[in-house]
Amino acid sequence: MAAPIPEVVILRLPLYYRILTLLQEETEIVSSQELGAQLQITPAQIRKDLSYFGKFGIQGKGYNVNQLLGELRHILGLDRQWSVVLVGVGRLGRAILDYSVLEPQGFHITAAFDTDSRQIGKKVGQLAVQDIATLSDTVKNQGINIGIVAVPPSEAPEVINRLVSCGIKAILNYAPVAPAIPSDVRVYNIDPVVALQTLTCHLKSLGTP
Amino acid sequence: MAAPIPEVVILRLPLYYRILTLLQEETEIVSSQELGAQLQITPAQIRKDLSYFGKFGIQGKGYNVNQLLGELRHILGLDRQWSVVLVGVGRLGRAILDYSVLEPQGFHITAAFDTDSRQIGKKVGQLAVQDIATLSDTVKNQGINIGIVAVPPSEAPEVINRLVSCGIKAILNYAPVAPAIPSDVRVYNIDPVVALQTLTCHLKSLGTP
DNA sequence: GTGTGTGAATGTTTTCACAGCG
DNA sequence: CGCTGTGAAAACATTCACACAC
Protein backbone atom coordinates (compact mmCIF):
# COMPACT_ATOMS: atom_id res chain seq x y z
CA MET A 1 0.00 0.00 0.00
CA ALA A 2 2.79 2.43 0.92
CA ALA A 3 4.52 1.45 -2.34
CA PRO A 4 6.32 4.29 -4.09
CA ILE A 5 4.43 5.33 -7.20
CA PRO A 6 6.72 5.66 -10.24
CA GLU A 7 6.94 9.18 -11.58
CA VAL A 8 6.03 8.08 -15.11
CA VAL A 9 2.72 6.79 -13.79
CA ILE A 10 1.89 10.17 -12.31
CA LEU A 11 2.68 11.81 -15.62
CA ARG A 12 0.07 9.63 -17.33
CA LEU A 13 -2.75 10.05 -14.83
CA PRO A 14 -3.75 13.52 -16.07
CA LEU A 15 -4.09 12.08 -19.56
CA TYR A 16 -6.47 9.44 -18.29
CA TYR A 17 -8.36 12.12 -16.44
CA ARG A 18 -8.78 14.27 -19.51
CA ILE A 19 -9.93 11.48 -21.79
CA LEU A 20 -12.41 10.27 -19.18
CA THR A 21 -13.83 13.78 -18.88
CA LEU A 22 -14.58 13.69 -22.60
CA LEU A 23 -15.91 10.13 -22.51
CA GLN A 24 -18.20 11.01 -19.62
CA GLU A 25 -20.82 12.41 -22.00
CA GLU A 26 -20.75 9.40 -24.29
CA THR A 27 -20.60 6.32 -22.16
CA GLU A 28 -21.05 4.83 -18.73
CA ILE A 29 -18.39 2.11 -18.89
CA VAL A 30 -15.04 2.01 -20.65
CA SER A 31 -12.46 -0.78 -20.92
CA SER A 32 -8.69 -0.38 -20.68
CA GLN A 33 -8.68 -1.49 -24.31
CA GLU A 34 -10.80 1.47 -25.40
CA LEU A 35 -8.93 3.96 -23.24
CA GLY A 36 -5.65 2.70 -24.64
CA ALA A 37 -6.83 3.11 -28.21
CA GLN A 38 -7.66 6.77 -27.56
CA LEU A 39 -4.37 7.52 -25.83
CA GLN A 40 -1.97 5.29 -27.76
CA ILE A 41 -1.11 3.46 -24.56
CA THR A 42 -1.30 -0.30 -24.06
CA PRO A 43 -4.28 -1.56 -22.04
CA ALA A 44 -1.93 -3.46 -19.72
CA GLN A 45 -0.15 -0.26 -18.85
CA ILE A 46 -3.35 1.53 -17.99
CA ARG A 47 -4.48 -1.34 -15.78
CA LYS A 48 -1.13 -1.49 -14.03
CA ASP A 49 -1.01 2.26 -13.51
CA LEU A 50 -4.43 2.26 -11.90
CA SER A 51 -3.61 -0.81 -9.80
CA TYR A 52 -1.04 1.24 -7.88
CA PHE A 53 -3.93 3.09 -6.31
CA GLY A 54 -6.62 0.46 -5.92
CA LYS A 55 -9.12 -1.73 -7.73
CA PHE A 56 -11.45 0.50 -9.63
CA GLY A 57 -12.68 -1.79 -12.40
CA ILE A 58 -15.54 -4.19 -12.84
CA GLN A 59 -14.27 -7.57 -13.98
CA GLY A 60 -15.59 -8.60 -17.36
CA LYS A 61 -16.85 -5.08 -18.12
CA GLY A 62 -14.33 -2.28 -17.63
CA TYR A 63 -14.33 0.90 -15.59
CA ASN A 64 -17.26 3.07 -14.60
CA VAL A 65 -16.28 6.41 -16.13
CA ASN A 66 -17.76 8.59 -13.43
CA GLN A 67 -16.41 6.54 -10.59
CA LEU A 68 -12.93 6.43 -12.10
CA LEU A 69 -13.04 10.19 -12.63
CA GLY A 70 -13.80 10.58 -8.95
CA GLU A 71 -10.91 8.33 -7.97
CA LEU A 72 -8.49 10.19 -10.24
CA ARG A 73 -9.69 13.52 -8.93
CA HIS A 74 -8.84 12.27 -5.48
CA ILE A 75 -5.48 10.77 -6.47
CA LEU A 76 -4.40 13.89 -8.35
CA GLY A 77 -5.61 16.18 -5.60
CA LEU A 78 -8.19 17.82 -7.85
CA ASP A 79 -11.00 17.59 -5.33
CA ARG A 80 -10.14 21.05 -4.02
CA GLN A 81 -9.19 24.50 -5.28
CA TRP A 82 -5.53 25.39 -5.65
CA SER A 83 -4.28 28.94 -5.24
CA VAL A 84 -1.64 29.91 -7.74
CA VAL A 85 0.69 32.87 -7.92
CA LEU A 86 2.01 34.14 -11.24
CA VAL A 87 5.38 35.85 -11.46
CA GLY A 88 5.98 37.73 -14.69
CA VAL A 89 3.21 39.58 -16.54
CA GLY A 90 4.86 40.02 -19.90
CA ARG A 91 3.32 38.62 -23.07
CA LEU A 92 3.51 35.06 -21.79
CA GLY A 93 2.26 35.83 -18.30
CA ARG A 94 -0.75 37.64 -19.73
CA ALA A 95 -1.52 34.71 -22.00
CA ILE A 96 -1.48 32.45 -18.95
CA LEU A 97 -3.76 34.79 -17.01
CA ASP A 98 -6.18 34.79 -19.91
CA TYR A 99 -6.06 31.05 -20.34
CA SER A 100 -9.64 30.28 -19.49
CA VAL A 101 -9.10 26.59 -18.87
CA LEU A 102 -7.22 26.93 -15.59
CA GLU A 103 -10.08 28.31 -13.53
CA PRO A 104 -12.66 25.56 -14.30
CA GLN A 105 -9.97 22.95 -13.56
CA GLY A 106 -9.63 24.31 -10.06
CA PHE A 107 -6.53 26.48 -10.46
CA HIS A 108 -7.18 29.98 -9.22
CA ILE A 109 -4.56 32.62 -9.96
CA THR A 110 -4.75 34.70 -6.82
CA ALA A 111 -1.96 37.20 -7.31
CA ALA A 112 0.41 38.45 -10.01
CA PHE A 113 3.91 39.81 -9.53
CA ASP A 114 6.64 41.28 -11.65
CA THR A 115 10.28 42.15 -11.17
CA ASP A 116 9.96 45.14 -13.50
CA SER A 117 8.93 48.10 -11.36
CA ARG A 118 7.19 49.76 -14.33
CA GLN A 119 4.60 46.98 -14.31
CA ILE A 120 3.75 47.34 -10.64
CA GLY A 121 0.26 48.62 -9.92
CA LYS A 122 -0.98 47.99 -13.45
CA LYS A 123 -4.12 45.94 -13.81
CA VAL A 124 -3.98 42.71 -15.76
CA GLY A 125 -7.41 41.14 -15.90
CA GLN A 126 -8.79 41.27 -12.38
CA LEU A 127 -5.43 41.54 -10.69
CA ALA A 128 -3.15 44.42 -9.80
CA VAL A 129 0.50 43.60 -10.41
CA GLN A 130 2.39 43.57 -7.12
CA ASP A 131 5.99 44.22 -6.27
CA ILE A 132 7.98 41.01 -6.00
CA ALA A 133 9.13 42.19 -2.57
CA THR A 134 5.63 41.52 -1.22
CA LEU A 135 5.59 37.94 -2.55
CA SER A 136 6.34 36.29 0.75
CA ASP A 137 3.54 38.02 2.64
CA THR A 138 0.98 37.29 -0.04
CA VAL A 139 1.94 33.63 -0.32
CA LYS A 140 1.68 33.13 3.41
CA ASN A 141 -1.49 35.17 3.97
CA GLN A 142 -3.39 33.69 1.07
CA GLY A 143 -2.21 30.12 1.51
CA ILE A 144 -0.81 29.86 -1.98
CA ASN A 145 0.45 26.45 -3.03
CA ILE A 146 1.75 26.78 -6.59
CA GLY A 147 3.95 29.28 -8.40
CA ILE A 148 4.10 29.92 -12.13
CA VAL A 149 7.33 31.48 -13.38
CA ALA A 150 7.02 33.50 -16.58
CA VAL A 151 9.89 35.97 -16.27
CA PRO A 152 12.88 36.41 -18.59
CA PRO A 153 15.71 33.87 -18.13
CA SER A 154 17.97 36.32 -16.31
CA GLU A 155 15.37 36.89 -13.58
CA ALA A 156 14.26 33.29 -13.25
CA PRO A 157 16.77 31.80 -10.78
CA GLU A 158 16.19 34.67 -8.34
CA VAL A 159 12.40 34.36 -8.68
CA ILE A 160 12.51 30.61 -8.17
CA ASN A 161 14.64 31.08 -5.06
CA ARG A 162 12.13 33.53 -3.68
CA LEU A 163 9.25 31.13 -4.32
CA VAL A 164 11.11 28.32 -2.61
CA SER A 165 11.92 30.42 0.43
CA CYS A 166 8.23 31.38 0.71
CA GLY A 167 7.54 27.69 1.24
CA ILE A 168 6.05 26.99 -2.18
CA LYS A 169 6.44 23.32 -3.05
CA ALA A 170 5.30 23.24 -6.68
CA ILE A 171 6.52 25.41 -9.53
CA LEU A 172 5.50 25.52 -13.16
CA ASN A 173 8.53 27.05 -14.83
CA TYR A 174 8.36 28.59 -18.31
CA ALA A 175 11.86 30.07 -18.13
CA PRO A 176 14.69 28.26 -19.89
CA VAL A 177 16.75 27.52 -16.80
CA ALA A 178 17.50 24.40 -14.75
CA PRO A 179 17.39 25.76 -11.22
CA ALA A 180 18.83 23.92 -8.24
CA ILE A 181 15.98 23.38 -5.81
CA PRO A 182 15.49 21.37 -2.61
CA SER A 183 14.25 17.84 -3.21
CA ASP A 184 10.89 18.52 -1.57
CA VAL A 185 10.01 21.12 -4.20
CA ARG A 186 8.65 19.94 -7.56
CA VAL A 187 9.43 21.85 -10.72
CA TYR A 188 7.78 21.18 -14.07
CA ASN A 189 9.60 22.90 -16.91
CA ILE A 190 7.89 24.02 -20.09
CA ASP A 191 10.29 25.22 -22.77
CA PRO A 192 9.25 25.37 -26.43
CA VAL A 193 12.86 25.62 -27.61
CA VAL A 194 13.76 22.36 -25.87
CA ALA A 195 10.63 20.81 -27.34
CA LEU A 196 11.46 21.96 -30.86
CA GLN A 197 15.03 20.74 -30.52
CA THR A 198 13.94 17.22 -29.64
CA LEU A 199 11.69 17.36 -32.69
CA THR A 200 14.49 18.46 -35.03
CA CYS A 201 16.69 15.68 -33.70
CA HIS A 202 14.16 13.23 -35.11
CA LEU A 203 13.53 15.19 -38.31
CA LYS A 204 17.23 15.24 -39.12
CA SER A 205 17.34 11.45 -39.49
CA LEU A 206 14.61 11.67 -42.12
CA GLY A 207 15.48 12.24 -45.77
CA THR A 208 16.31 15.94 -46.05
CA PRO A 209 13.92 17.64 -48.45
CA MET B 1 27.20 2.36 -34.15
CA ALA B 2 23.72 1.97 -35.67
CA ALA B 3 22.40 1.48 -32.14
CA PRO B 4 18.96 2.91 -31.47
CA ILE B 5 19.21 6.01 -29.28
CA PRO B 6 16.83 5.90 -26.29
CA GLU B 7 14.19 8.58 -26.37
CA VAL B 8 15.09 9.79 -22.85
CA VAL B 9 18.58 10.57 -24.07
CA ILE B 10 17.23 12.77 -26.84
CA LEU B 11 15.11 14.62 -24.31
CA ARG B 12 18.24 15.50 -22.32
CA LEU B 13 20.43 16.66 -25.20
CA PRO B 14 18.73 20.07 -25.51
CA LEU B 15 19.42 20.65 -21.82
CA TYR B 16 23.11 19.97 -22.35
CA TYR B 17 23.05 22.24 -25.33
CA ARG B 18 21.52 25.11 -23.41
CA ILE B 19 23.88 24.87 -20.45
CA LEU B 20 26.88 24.69 -22.75
CA THR B 21 25.72 27.83 -24.55
CA LEU B 22 25.80 29.66 -21.24
CA LEU B 23 29.12 28.13 -20.19
CA GLN B 24 30.67 29.10 -23.51
CA GLU B 25 31.39 32.62 -22.25
CA GLU B 26 32.95 31.46 -19.01
CA THR B 27 35.14 28.51 -19.76
CA GLU B 28 36.95 26.52 -22.41
CA ILE B 29 36.70 23.07 -20.84
CA VAL B 30 34.00 21.49 -18.70
CA SER B 31 33.83 18.10 -17.00
CA SER B 32 30.79 15.83 -16.80
CA GLN B 33 31.00 16.46 -13.07
CA GLU B 34 30.50 20.22 -13.50
CA LEU B 35 27.79 19.81 -16.12
CA GLY B 36 25.98 17.38 -13.88
CA ALA B 37 26.07 19.78 -10.95
CA GLN B 38 24.40 22.49 -13.05
CA LEU B 39 21.70 20.20 -14.42
CA GLN B 40 21.08 17.91 -11.44
CA ILE B 41 22.08 14.92 -13.54
CA THR B 42 24.75 12.36 -12.62
CA PRO B 43 28.08 12.71 -14.44
CA ALA B 44 27.90 9.05 -15.48
CA GLN B 45 24.61 9.67 -17.23
CA ILE B 46 25.97 12.61 -19.16
CA ARG B 47 28.99 10.61 -20.28
CA LYS B 48 26.84 7.67 -21.30
CA ASP B 49 24.39 9.88 -23.17
CA LEU B 50 27.18 11.48 -25.17
CA SER B 51 28.85 8.14 -25.81
CA TYR B 52 25.87 7.09 -27.94
CA PHE B 53 27.06 9.59 -30.51
CA GLY B 54 30.83 9.45 -30.27
CA LYS B 55 33.87 10.29 -28.18
CA PHE B 56 33.89 14.01 -27.63
CA GLY B 57 35.91 14.33 -24.43
CA ILE B 58 39.55 14.76 -23.54
CA GLN B 59 40.65 12.17 -21.01
CA GLY B 60 41.78 13.65 -17.75
CA LYS B 61 40.32 17.08 -18.59
CA GLY B 62 36.69 17.07 -19.70
CA TYR B 63 34.91 18.39 -22.79
CA ASN B 64 35.84 21.33 -24.94
CA VAL B 65 32.73 23.48 -24.66
CA ASN B 66 32.80 24.87 -28.18
CA GLN B 67 33.54 21.56 -29.80
CA LEU B 68 30.78 19.81 -27.85
CA LEU B 69 28.35 22.56 -28.79
CA GLY B 70 29.20 21.91 -32.42
CA GLU B 71 28.64 18.19 -32.03
CA LEU B 72 25.29 18.72 -30.29
CA ARG B 73 24.22 21.21 -32.93
CA HIS B 74 24.90 18.53 -35.49
CA ILE B 75 23.22 15.74 -33.50
CA LEU B 76 20.11 17.81 -32.81
CA GLY B 77 19.94 19.08 -36.36
CA LEU B 78 20.47 22.68 -35.30
CA ASP B 79 23.10 23.40 -37.94
CA ARG B 80 20.42 24.65 -40.32
CA GLN B 81 17.29 26.81 -40.32
CA TRP B 82 13.92 25.17 -39.78
CA SER B 83 10.75 26.57 -41.30
CA VAL B 84 7.78 26.46 -38.99
CA VAL B 85 4.09 26.99 -39.62
CA LEU B 86 1.79 28.24 -36.87
CA VAL B 87 -1.87 27.28 -36.81
CA GLY B 88 -4.01 29.37 -34.49
CA VAL B 89 -3.41 33.07 -33.89
CA GLY B 90 -5.42 33.58 -30.74
CA ARG B 91 -3.83 34.81 -27.54
CA LEU B 92 -1.48 31.86 -27.34
CA GLY B 93 -0.54 31.86 -31.01
CA ARG B 94 0.35 35.54 -30.83
CA ALA B 95 2.50 34.96 -27.75
CA ILE B 96 4.37 32.27 -29.69
CA LEU B 97 4.85 34.57 -32.68
CA ASP B 98 6.23 37.23 -30.38
CA TYR B 99 8.51 34.82 -28.57
CA SER B 100 11.80 36.30 -29.58
CA VAL B 101 13.89 33.27 -28.67
CA LEU B 102 12.73 31.03 -31.52
CA GLU B 103 14.29 33.02 -34.34
CA PRO B 104 17.87 33.16 -32.98
CA GLN B 105 17.66 29.42 -32.27
CA GLY B 106 17.04 28.77 -35.96
CA PHE B 107 13.27 28.35 -35.94
CA HIS B 108 11.67 30.65 -38.49
CA ILE B 109 7.89 30.97 -38.42
CA THR B 110 7.15 31.31 -42.12
CA ALA B 111 3.37 31.36 -42.17
CA ALA B 112 0.39 31.67 -39.84
CA PHE B 113 -3.05 30.14 -40.28
CA ASP B 114 -6.35 30.14 -38.51
CA THR B 115 -9.57 28.20 -38.74
CA ASP B 116 -11.59 31.26 -37.78
CA SER B 117 -12.44 33.09 -41.01
CA ARG B 118 -12.64 36.44 -39.17
CA GLN B 119 -8.89 36.27 -38.52
CA ILE B 120 -7.94 35.67 -42.14
CA GLY B 121 -6.06 38.50 -43.78
CA LYS B 122 -5.23 40.21 -40.50
CA LYS B 123 -1.61 41.02 -39.88
CA VAL B 124 0.08 39.50 -36.85
CA GLY B 125 3.64 40.73 -36.62
CA GLN B 126 5.13 40.39 -40.09
CA LEU B 127 2.68 37.75 -41.25
CA ALA B 128 -0.75 37.86 -42.81
CA VAL B 129 -3.05 35.19 -41.41
CA GLN B 130 -3.96 32.71 -44.12
CA ASP B 131 -6.96 30.49 -44.62
CA ILE B 132 -6.33 26.98 -43.36
CA ALA B 133 -7.46 25.71 -46.78
CA THR B 134 -4.21 27.03 -48.27
CA LEU B 135 -2.07 25.19 -45.72
CA SER B 136 -1.08 22.35 -48.00
CA ASP B 137 0.19 24.61 -50.79
CA THR B 138 2.19 26.78 -48.43
CA VAL B 139 3.79 23.83 -46.64
CA LYS B 140 4.83 22.26 -49.93
CA ASN B 141 5.99 25.45 -51.66
CA GLN B 142 7.93 26.80 -48.72
CA GLY B 143 9.43 23.48 -47.63
CA ILE B 144 8.03 23.72 -44.12
CA ASN B 145 9.13 21.05 -41.68
CA ILE B 146 7.43 21.75 -38.38
CA GLY B 147 3.89 22.68 -37.34
CA ILE B 148 2.81 24.42 -34.15
CA VAL B 149 -0.80 23.85 -33.13
CA ALA B 150 -2.34 26.60 -31.01
CA VAL B 151 -6.04 26.28 -31.81
CA PRO B 152 -8.91 25.51 -29.42
CA PRO B 153 -9.33 21.83 -28.46
CA SER B 154 -12.33 21.30 -30.72
CA GLU B 155 -10.35 22.32 -33.81
CA ALA B 156 -7.14 20.53 -32.92
CA PRO B 157 -7.71 16.99 -34.24
CA GLU B 158 -8.76 18.34 -37.64
CA VAL B 159 -5.78 20.72 -37.77
CA ILE B 160 -3.35 17.96 -36.80
CA ASN B 161 -4.79 15.71 -39.50
CA ARG B 162 -4.28 18.45 -42.06
CA LEU B 163 -0.67 18.96 -41.00
CA VAL B 164 -0.01 15.24 -41.23
CA SER B 165 -1.51 14.98 -44.68
CA CYS B 166 0.66 17.89 -45.84
CA GLY B 167 3.63 15.67 -45.03
CA ILE B 168 4.70 17.47 -41.85
CA LYS B 169 6.65 15.10 -39.62
CA ALA B 170 7.04 17.15 -36.44
CA ILE B 171 4.29 18.88 -34.47
CA LEU B 172 4.46 21.00 -31.34
CA ASN B 173 0.96 20.70 -29.95
CA TYR B 174 -0.43 23.13 -27.38
CA ALA B 175 -3.97 21.79 -27.60
CA PRO B 176 -5.19 19.43 -24.87
CA VAL B 177 -5.79 16.43 -27.13
CA ALA B 178 -4.03 13.11 -27.71
CA PRO B 179 -4.32 12.75 -31.46
CA ALA B 180 -3.77 9.47 -33.28
CA ILE B 181 -0.93 10.03 -35.71
CA PRO B 182 1.19 7.81 -37.96
CA SER B 183 4.33 6.50 -36.26
CA ASP B 184 6.65 8.49 -38.51
CA VAL B 185 5.22 11.77 -37.21
CA ARG B 186 6.51 13.14 -33.88
CA VAL B 187 4.23 15.10 -31.62
CA TYR B 188 5.41 16.99 -28.55
CA ASN B 189 2.54 18.03 -26.32
CA ILE B 190 2.62 21.08 -24.09
CA ASP B 191 -0.35 21.35 -21.75
CA PRO B 192 -0.21 23.50 -18.62
CA VAL B 193 -3.24 21.78 -17.10
CA VAL B 194 -1.56 18.38 -17.32
CA ALA B 195 1.58 19.92 -15.86
CA LEU B 196 -0.31 21.48 -12.94
CA GLN B 197 -2.16 18.23 -12.28
CA THR B 198 1.06 16.28 -11.91
CA LEU B 199 2.21 18.97 -9.49
CA THR B 200 -0.94 18.78 -7.37
CA CYS B 201 -0.60 15.01 -7.21
CA HIS B 202 2.66 15.56 -5.36
CA LEU B 203 1.39 18.46 -3.26
CA LYS B 204 -1.51 16.42 -1.99
CA SER B 205 0.80 13.96 -0.23
CA LEU B 206 2.34 16.85 1.73
CA GLY B 207 0.83 18.01 4.95
CA THR B 208 -2.20 20.10 3.96
CA PRO B 209 -1.78 23.66 5.22
C1' DG C 1 46.52 12.58 -10.92
C1' DT C 2 42.23 13.37 -13.31
C1' DG C 3 38.23 12.46 -15.96
C1' DT C 4 36.55 9.95 -20.11
C1' DG C 5 34.36 5.86 -22.23
C1' DT C 6 32.22 1.60 -21.35
C1' DG C 7 30.99 -3.26 -20.16
C1' DA C 8 28.75 -5.25 -16.30
C1' DA C 9 25.52 -4.74 -12.43
C1' DT C 10 21.65 -2.74 -10.60
C1' DG C 11 17.29 -0.61 -10.69
C1' DT C 12 13.08 0.69 -13.07
C1' DT C 13 9.27 0.33 -16.38
C1' DT C 14 6.68 -2.16 -19.61
C1' DT C 15 4.73 -6.16 -21.34
C1' DC C 16 3.08 -10.76 -20.94
C1' DA C 17 -0.06 -14.15 -19.63
C1' DC C 18 -3.32 -16.01 -16.85
C1' DA C 19 -6.10 -16.82 -12.47
C1' DG C 20 -10.28 -15.24 -10.90
C1' DC C 21 -14.43 -12.53 -10.79
C1' DG C 22 -18.77 -10.57 -12.54
C1' DC D 1 -17.38 -15.26 -21.99
C1' DG D 2 -14.73 -10.79 -21.31
C1' DC D 3 -11.96 -7.91 -18.84
C1' DT D 4 -9.61 -6.72 -14.54
C1' DG D 5 -5.76 -7.18 -11.41
C1' DT D 6 -1.23 -8.91 -10.85
C1' DG D 7 2.90 -11.76 -10.24
C1' DA D 8 6.64 -13.07 -13.31
C1' DA D 9 9.42 -12.14 -17.43
C1' DA D 10 11.36 -9.11 -20.67
C1' DA D 11 12.91 -4.72 -22.06
C1' DC D 12 14.83 -0.59 -20.91
C1' DA D 13 17.52 2.99 -18.27
C1' DT D 14 20.75 4.35 -14.77
C1' DT D 15 24.65 3.76 -11.97
C1' DC D 16 28.93 1.60 -10.84
C1' DA D 17 33.65 0.87 -11.21
C1' DC D 18 37.71 0.59 -13.59
C1' DA D 19 40.97 0.34 -17.72
C1' DC D 20 42.96 3.61 -20.25
C1' DA D 21 44.40 8.10 -22.27
C1' DC D 22 46.06 12.68 -21.43
**A174 compared with B99, residue with greater pLDDT:** A174
- Predicted local confidence at residue B1, as pLDDT: 45
In tens, the pLDDT along B111-141 reads 999 999 999 999 999 999 999 999 999 999 9
Give the end of a domain, one of B55, B75, B95: B75
Kindly state whether residues B121 and B171 are assigned to the same domain. yes
Residue of A nearest to B72 (CA): A201
Asked whether residue B204 is assigned to any structural domain, the reply reads no
In a domain, B125, yes or no: yes
Cβ of B15 and A193 within 8 Å? Answer: no
Distance from CA of A154 to the nearest CA of B (A): 11
Give me the percent of chain B exceeding a pLDDT of 70.
97
Strand C lies under 7 A from the Cβ of residue B71? no
A199, B180: Cβ pair inside 8 Å? no
Q: Any idea what the CATH number is for the domain that residue A15 is in?
A: 1.10.10.10
Q: Is B57 helix (H, G, I), strand (E, B) or coil?
A: strand
Q: What does the mean pLDDT of chain B come to?
A: 95
Q: Are residues B87 and B137 in the same domain?
A: yes
Residue B61 lies in a domain: yes
Q: CA–C1' span, B5 to D16, in Å? A: 21
Asked if the C-beta of A142 comes within 8 angstroms of chain B's C-beta atoms, the answer is no
Same domain, residue pair B70 and B89: no
A chain contacts of residue B14, beta-carbon cutoff 8 Å? 193-194, 197-198
Query: Would you say the C-beta of B58 is within 7 Å of strand D?
Result: yes
State whether A71 and A89 are in the same domain. Answer: no
Confidence tier at A204 by pLDDT (50, 70, 90): confident
Q: Are B176 and A105 in contact (CB under 8 A)?
A: no
Q: Are residues B29 and B103 in the same domain?
A: no
Range(s) of the domain holding residue A71: 7-75
B99 touches chain A (CB under 8 A): yes
- Do the Cβ atoms of A11 and B76 come within 8 Å? no
Q: Where are the alpha helices (DSSP H) in chain A?
A: 7-23, 32-39, 43-51, 65-76, 91-98, 135-141, 156-165, 192-204
- Gap between the Cα atoms of B206 and A82, Å rounded: 14
Domain with residue A93: its CATH number is 3.40.50.720
3-state secondary structure of A188: strand
Please give the pLDDT value at position A88.
Answer: 97
In a domain, B134, yes or no: yes
What pLDDT sits at residue B204?
86
Domain contains B188: yes
Q: Is residue A143 part of a domain?
A: yes
- Angle among Cα B43, B44, B45 to the nearest 5 degrees reads 90
| pTM (predicted TM-score) | 0.95
Please tell me the total count of domains within chain B. Answer: 2
- Substitution target in A200, A203, A204, A206 with the highest count of B β-carbons within 10 Å is A200
Calculate the average pLDDT of chain A. Answer: 95
B148's CB contacts (< 8 A; 6+ apart) are B84, B85, B86, B87, B93, B96, B109, B171, B172, B173, B174
Q: Measuring from the CA of residue A59 to each C1' atom, give the nucleotide at the shortest distance.
A: D4
**Residues A125, A67 share a domain:** no
**Which residues of B fall within a CB distance of 8 Å from A209?**
143, 145
Is the separation of the CB atoms in B89 and B114 below 8 Å? yes
Task: Identify all chain B residues contacting A192, using CB atoms and an 8 Å cutoff.
Answer: 96, 99, 102, 172, 190
Per-residue model confidence (pLDDT) at position B206: 65
Q: Which residue is nearest to nucleotide C17 (CA to C1')?
A: A44
Chain length of chain B: 209
In a domain, A199, yes or no: no
Same-domain status, B111 and B171? yes
Q: Which of A51, A75, A99 is the last residue of a domain?
A: A75
Helix (H) or strand (E) holding A129: strand A127-131
Same domain, A109 and A179: yes
Per the CB < 8 A criterion, the answer to whether A117 and A131 are in contact is yes
Q: Give the end of a domain, one of B41, B58, B75.
A: B75
Q: Does B78 touch chain A (CB under 8 A)?
A: yes
If asked whether residues B90 and B185 sit together in one domain, one would say yes
Q: Answer whether residue B198 is part of any domain.
A: no
Residues of chain B neighbouring A193 (CB-CB closer than 8 A): 14, 18, 101-102, 105, 107
Query: Are B109 and B118 contacting, i.e. CB atoms less than 8 angstroms apart?
Result: no
Contact A196 B146 (CB under 8 A): yes
A134-152: average pLDDT: 97
> How many other β-carbons are positioned within 10 Å of the β-carbon of residue A78?
22
pLDDT in tens, B22-42: 999 999 999 999 999 999 999
A1 has pLDDT over 50: no
Residue A93 CA to residue A99 CA, distance in Å, equals 10
Q: Within this chain, do residues A24 and A102 fall inside the same structural domain, yes or no? A: no
Judgement on whether residues B66 and B87 belong to the same structural domain of the protein:
no
- B102, B38: one domain: no
Report the phi/psi class of residue A170: left, alpha or beta, with left for phi > 0 and alpha for psi in -120 to 50.
beta
Positions of strand D less than 7 angstroms from a protein CB: 1-7, 12-17, 20-22
- The answer to whether residue A208 scores a pLDDT higher than 50 is no
What is the structure's pLDDT at A209? Answer: 42
